[in-house]
Structure 1
């Protein structure tokens, strides 16, 4: 059943790309995260606010159209290191509105609505549009998600990689590079299927459980852990893992005592370059888990079933599929005979 389902997913994704495989007829009007906008030609100058948008544009062969990037969690994918080095990084974290506008972009491509949205920390979409600058938010952050609840938002339905493929298809159409979009979706769908098939071939416990720890405002305080319906929830559902965190929030804070009582079999911890909080440091996470009197007694810690994953893969991005792969591979090397 799982194999048939994943084959259908891959076929659907490829079909989506093929349906869009035609030259773009400009002017092109799109409804994106509830906002209509039009482009009259392929954007020549793009600023990205979010690593997801950056890496998708690079993957579509559009690095030469990107003249500024911002909001980075992890190093750029190795195959884009040279191209990325030549493009100005406006900010590691949130850029200012002025810094983005000063790059004179035709389009601002955005990962998170809380950066550019109704209460955007960078600006609202209207502020950009009033200057004749279009904005595009990756659908993964607004499809099946309510960002008006504050924080990282709340999922109204489970994240699906369909929203990633939708974003790739729409960006490929905006820039008139549909062949590149088709190739990227085909590759990602195949990788997604292989990871799921690998996990289904393993002799995993029937009630295997896990928790994903992104970060904490300080070590020892309640951590930001993955809810049921976001990208980590998708990974766990596809690989047959139960998420011990029963929340629809994207990244709820849950006390370590509660997590320890749930006692997940596996802990997945985020690795990132960002240093906004002490627990952003992967080594600090590991030291805390092994030294704290509550966490060190957890099954996953005692049995060294701790998986490091790029923080960017834990968000709803193209890299989520890479995270799915790395988790399946990690499970294949674990023993659950205690």
Structure 2
């Protein structure tokens, strides 16, 4: 049994000192990751509004999520969040609630007496001042996910639930790596992760070296053909085709901000475009679908690691 939280609780969160007077009763989440962590900690009844969704909620929480108001599928307005009268706003991406937040700055919330907590996976080893999706200053580690779970458990005084969740995720992580190690994959196996594109045919958003997909590839002994440290750089298809990755991992999502958000549109483009259809990954159908949310630095990254290892187990590669 973990020690109870001693309030007021002071934490340094993404470079800002926050003080929690008592366990929050009303929380609005800006980001699916924050929502699913709170649900996983048994705190669905404390979540009064959610926003920014990529994929359906994890199946065990479908009923709880149905009962929670979704104030926006994508970015909520500042007013929509404040109108729920939260005592804490839990955030997945700093660019939503941060120095130049698309929803608001942290100070705007704090001036109204509303605390903010940003999941550390989006700011530890990451510089979000570079614009876009930010740039990693060092490789993402699942330690930052476990840190976020542990701190949220402490904020809500549910430390035992936090320890149980972290232990389960560490176990899943280790089993996925063990599966990949048992496959005798080629030493030079390479891959690229395609999240989306503003339009089909234009340079896609692909995973850089140091984000969550980079972590997956590193753990499974796969070389990322994209060498950028940006989280999601845009790279031309001609450059990707020249690198000719053995495997393409493509994001599946409910979001429809861009045409290439549609998984079937991605597949059709890869099969029909004169450049992409010549890639070995396309010719060999070494295309893996993965939840878009798993490609971000989230709890679901461990699930993505499982998806990747299990898919590789079904594929044959020439030595």
Q: TM-score range by the shorter chain?
A: over 0.9
Give how far 1:203 is off.
1.7
Q: 1:65 aligns with which of 40, 46, 52?
A: 46
| Deviations, residues 163-183 of structure 1 (Å, cap 9, x unaligned) | 000000000000000000000
Would you say how many aligned residue pairs link Structure 1 and Structure 2? Answer: 319
1:106-117 to 2 correspondences below 5 Å: 106-117=87-98
| Deviations, residues 82-111 of structure 1 (Å, cap 9, x unaligned) | 000000000000000000000000000000
Q: Equivalent residue for 2:136?
A: 155
Q: Equivalent residue for 1:208?
A: 189
- Runs in 1 of length 4+ with deviation above 6 angstroms? none
Q: 2:70 aligns with which of 66, 79, 89?
A: 89
Secondary structure of the corresponding residue to residue 334 of structure 1: coil
Q: Equivalent residue for 1:306?
A: 287
Q: Does 1:100 align with 2:81?
A: yes
Q: Equivalent residue for 1:133?
A: 114
Q: Supply the distance in 2 between the matched residues of 1:198 and 1:75 (Cα, whole angstroms).
A: 26
Q: Equivalent residue for 1:14?
A: none
Q: Supply the distance in 1 between the matched residues of 2:42 and 2:190 (Cα, whole angstroms).
A: 39
Secondary structure of the corresponding residue to residue 202 of structure 2: coil
Q: Which structure 2 residue ranges, 5 or more long, are not aligned?
A: none
Q: Does 1:26 align with 2:7?
A: yes
Q: Supply the distance in 2 between the matched residues of 1:265 and 1:28 (Cα, whole angstroms).
A: 49
Q: Which structure 1 residue ranges, 5 or more long, are not aligned?
A: 1-17
Q: Supply the distance in 2 between the matched residues of 1:190 and 1:329 (Cα, whole angstroms).
A: 16
Give how far 1:337 is off.
2.7
TM score, norm. by length of structure 2 = 0.99
Q: Supply the distance in 2 between the matched residues of 1:333 and 1:32 (Cα, whole angstroms).
A: 41
Q: Equivalent residue for 1:277?
A: 258
TM score, norm. by length of structure 1 = 0.94
Secondary structure of the corresponding residue to residue 10 of structure 2: strand
Q: Supply the distance in 2 between the matched residues of 1:192 and 1:225 (Cα, whole angstroms).
A: 23
| Deviations, residues 104-135 of structure 1 (Å, cap 9, x unaligned) | 00000000000000000000000000000000
Q: Does 1:316 align with 2:267?
A: no
Q: Supply the distance in 2 between the matched residues of 1:86 and 1:157 (Cα, whole angstroms).
A: 39
Secondary structure of the corresponding residue to residue 30 of structure 1: strand
Secondary structure of the corresponding residue to residue 157 of structure 2: coil
Secondary structure of the corresponding residue to residue 213 of structure 1: strand
Give how far 1:40 is off.
1.1
| Deviations, residues 136-184 of structure 1 (Å, cap 9, x unaligned) | 0000000000000000000000000000000000000000000000000
Q: Supply the distance in 1 between the matched residues of 2:163 and 2:223 (Cα, whole angstroms).
A: 33
Aligned-CA RMSD value: 0.7
Q: Supply the distance in 2 between the matched residues of 1:228 and 1:240 (Cα, whole angstroms).
A: 13
Q: Supply the distance in 2 between the matched residues of 1:97 and 1:203 (Cα, whole angstroms).
A: 51
Q: Supply the distance in 2 between the matched residues of 1:106 and 1:134 (Cα, whole angstroms).
A: 6
